[in-house]
Amino acid sequence: MPFIVLLTPLLLALALGTSPAAGAADTSQADQGALDFDDFPREEILHYPSWFKQSFLDIPADLEEAVAADKQGLMVYFGQKRCSYCHQLIKVNFGLQDIVEYARRHFDLVPIDIWGVDEVTTLSGEVVSERQWSRAQEMDFTPAILFIDADGEVALRLRGYYPPYQFRAALEYVADGHYKRESFRDYLARGENRMVFDAEDMNDEPFFAPPPYNLDRRFPAKRPLAVFFEQGNCHPCDVLHGQVLRTAAINRRFDEFDSVQLDMWSDTPIVTPAGERTTARQWAAELGLFYAPAILFFDERGREVLRLDSVIGFYRLRNALSYIVSKAYLTESFGDWRISRVF
């Protein structure tokens, strides 16, 4: 069966974790399985699929070749050979024939090792190492994909692992040119007429502070802040709360944070860490959030220092919490800090 080019209401609804008919969770078994994996670094080395481009890492030349082949542009994949999330992307997402056929039809895919030393010629003509370019593009959360359109412009950035339903939507969002007219968040939201969920659909935690949500940190707080952006009828949210947050090593670390949970589609009034009055929905839109759950970390003065806005497992969240609590962000990036931890 050929892959449908236009995003169907069902696919859009799945991208939001809801049923197009009644708003109930309707995530397929394959998508649910995509969230259920051990995210510790793999012992085995990742091998790229044969259809990945054998590139000299001259990005302008690669883009020219893709356009000449009547494709919409490039997908530049940033990964690590032992990253469990990268393995999951290759095994699950690129194990589905429809995704592979659609991706190959519309894009050439160029792989980058974020720790690599090979030279890359960037779109601006600068020659740098794979590691230097990865750092400049802030692609330390792997797998990360940079979608570059035929004009050499960045159409979309994906940082981290997303299940097949969301990944399909990203492919179509770029291939069909929707990025020229709307944000990816708005594109996904069009698949569901009502973004209203019952309060009881949200997963609660004892460390969540109750409303009102005054997060103003123009006067420094005593502890860092963790803001959970979630939604009802959200299978990935259920996995985070039912599995990852149930482990003592994770749960007790949140005693060192001020933590709040926001429904990313609600009109709940909030005051942001910068002191701005807005709503949860408006703030999530300004932040460009489209995936739930997303956890954003702010320091005592309200500066955002890290965000987890893709699939979150035990190992990645534990590292993120250690990075924040240790204040390592004051001297190094999360990627550089992690290198000694073989992630």
CB proximity list for 313: less than 8 A, separation 6 or greater: 37, 38, 39, 84, 85, 244
Q: Say what percent of the chain tops pLDDT 70.
A: 86
Report the 10 Å Cβ neighbour count for 255. Answer: 10
If pLDDT is split at 50, 70 and 90, which confidence band does 24 have? very low
Give CA–CA dist 112/120, Å, rounded: 9
- Considering only 29-43, 113-127, 257-271, which range has the smallest mean pLDDT? 29-43
Which CA distances in Å does 295 have to 155, 250, 311? 24, 14, 11
Q: Exposed, middle or buried: residue 121 (CB in 10 Å: 0-12, 13-18, 19+)?
A: middle
**Nearest CA to 17 among 241, 192, 267, 168?**
192
Q: Say what percent of the chain tops pLDDT 90.
A: 77
Structure confidence at residue 233 (pLDDT): 84
Q: Which domains does the chain have, with CATH numbers?
A: 9-189 (3.40.30.10), 199-341 (3.40.30.10)
Tokens standing for 67? 């356009």
Q: Give the predicted TM-score (pTM) of the model.
A: 0.86
Q: What is the pLDDT of residues 77-135, one digit of tens each?
A: 999 999 999 999 999 999 999 999 999 999 999 999 999 999 999 999 999 999 999 99
Instruction: Please state, rounded to an integer, the average pLDDT across all residues of the chain.
Output: 87
Give CA–CA dist 148/106, Å, rounded: 12
Q: What is the pLDDT of residues 240-260, one digit of tens each?
A: 999 999 999 899 999 999 999
DSSP 58: B
Residue 288, Cα to own-chain centre: how many angstroms?
A: 11
Q: What is the pLDDT of residues 273-332, one digit of tens each?
A: 999 999 999 999 999 999 999 999 999 999 999 999 999 999 999 999 999 999 999 998
If pLDDT is split at 50, 70 and 90, which confidence band does 338 have? confident
Q: What is the pLDDT of residues 149-172, one digit of tens each?
A: 999 999 999 999 999 989 999 999
Structure confidence at residue 336 (pLDDT): 81
